[in-house]
Amino acid sequence: MNIELELLQTILRENDIKPTFIRLKILDYIEKNKKHSDTEEIYLAVKKEIPTISRTSVYNALDIFQEKGLIRPLFITGNETRYEIELSPHHHFLCKKCGIIIDLDMEYEYFKKKTIEGHKVIDIQGYFKGECKNCLKGPKSKKGE
């Protein structure tokens, strides 16, 4: 067991999640991989190390992590749910051309607001959609074609 996994183990324990190997590996993947992965991608990645793992275990682990606030789900594409490690609140940009999801660094005053128009705010998600910097540069930088 390396140091990183031990740290993750501690994080899980602190959040009342039993640190099973599967959970560690799943959280480890989400943590290292800075993308916004969907369940299938996580499943395939962890499968390389744990070939017997089932999709259900991935769903289960993600559900627990989410309940405990370790990860945040993104419903940006409208298709599959994507996940990222829960860090300080930030918005996301989805490129409609190449599909990349980019974290935005902007700060907005309402990140600090606890209520809005009388409603109690627990979570905020801001999705910007359009064409990313890279795709704007021209057709030569297209990927996957």
Residues of this chain that interact with a second copy (CB under 8 A) are 73, 75-78, 81, 93, 95-96, 102, 104-106, 108, 110, 116-133, 136
94 makes contact with DNA (CB under 7 A)? no
Nearest Cα to 136, choosing from 95, 91, 101, 104? 95
**Nearer Cβ to DNA (55/113):** 55
List CB contacts of 117: < 8 A, sequence separation 6 or more: none
Q: How far is the CB of 16 from DNA (least distance, A)?
A: 9
Q: How far is the CB of 47 from DNA (least distance, A)?
A: 9
Among 22, 27, 71, 132, binds DNA (CB under 7 A): 22
Q: How far is the CB of 109 from DNA (least distance, A)?
A: 31
Residue 42: phi and psi, rounded to 5, are -65, -45
Residue 38: phi and psi, rounded to 5, are -95, 175
> Two tokens at 77?
């594409």
Nearest Cα to 54, choosing from 64, 45, 63, 43? 43
CA gyration radius, the chain:
17
> Two tokens at 68?
């405990």
Site for DNA in 24-83 (CB under 7 A): 38-40, 50, 52-57, 59-61, 63, 78-81
122 contact, one of a second copy, DNA, none, CB 5-8 Å limit per kind: a second copy
Residues that bind DNA (CB under 7 A): 17-18, 20-23, 38-40, 50, 52-57, 59-61, 63, 78-81
